[in-house]
Chain A
Amino acid sequence: MRYSQKCMATEETKKTTTQSGTQKGFIYLPLIAGWLVPGGGHFLLRKWGRGALLAASILGMFVLGLLMQGEVYASAHDILVLLGLVGDLGIGLPYVLCRMLGLGDVQVMVTTADYGTRFIVVAGLLNIIAAVDAHNLRTGRKS
């Protein structure tokens, strides 16, 4: 009985030490970095493999969307366009880069361009999921 209690105490101490170790510094930094640069939050936490895969997937999807002549939303004149804009903003700095370079400033005329627009929006949404995952890693909610 005494032995098991001792073990539990050790486990609890370990857990507390690990949590306090991960709580140092600005806790939202991986979340913000992950939002601005796809995979950036994971890179910051030295999860190189996961970060590289996330960056390749999200940026790959975004670039393919642009290559399919997808539209990058710039204004919000109705609710559907507003939702698309929110999705696009999820990609972070690549969105700003595209707006500055005038990429994705097209009229959707063909089916593949419509697919491209969806690819761009979904890439943004996937980036938000990845950024939240980095935040969860940072807080110790996920290992």
Chain B
Amino acid sequence: MGNWVFQPSHFTAVVLFALFASTVFGITMRETPRSMIRYGVYCFVLFVASAIALSWVMYFIAR
């Protein structure tokens, strides 16, 4: 896209991915606004936490 280049760190990419995906999941998988927010936050935390956990697993496998 022209000269605009976005090069986030790995963690920033994970957080952005989790943010967008969990927003869509929250809206589409639940019916009431309250449950949408709760489910969205739940998905976001799971995305980020599992990415961190898997990163540590890979770190120890690589050593």
A residues engaging B (CB < 8 A)?
50, 53-54, 56-58, 60-61, 63-64, 66-69, 103, 110-112, 115, 118-119, 122-123, 126, 129-130, 132-133, 142-143
A54 contact from B6, B27, B31, Cβ within 8 A: B27
For the residues of A in contact with B, the DSSP-based class is helix
- Please, could you name 9 A-B residue pairs with CB atoms under 8 Å apart, sorted by A? A57-B19, A57-B23, A64-B16, A115-B13, A118-B17, A123-B20, A126-B24, A130-B28, A132-B28
CB distance from A38 to the nearest CB of B (A): 10
Main secondary structure on chain B at its contact with chain A? Answer: helix
Residues of A within 8 A of B19 (CB): 57
How many A-B residue pairs have C-beta atoms within 8 angstroms? Tell me.
Answer: 62
Asked whether B7 lies within 8 Å of A68 as measured between CB atoms, the reply is: yes
Q: Scan residues 1-16 of chain B and give those whose CB is less than 8 A from a CB of chain A.
A: 1, 4-8, 10, 13, 16
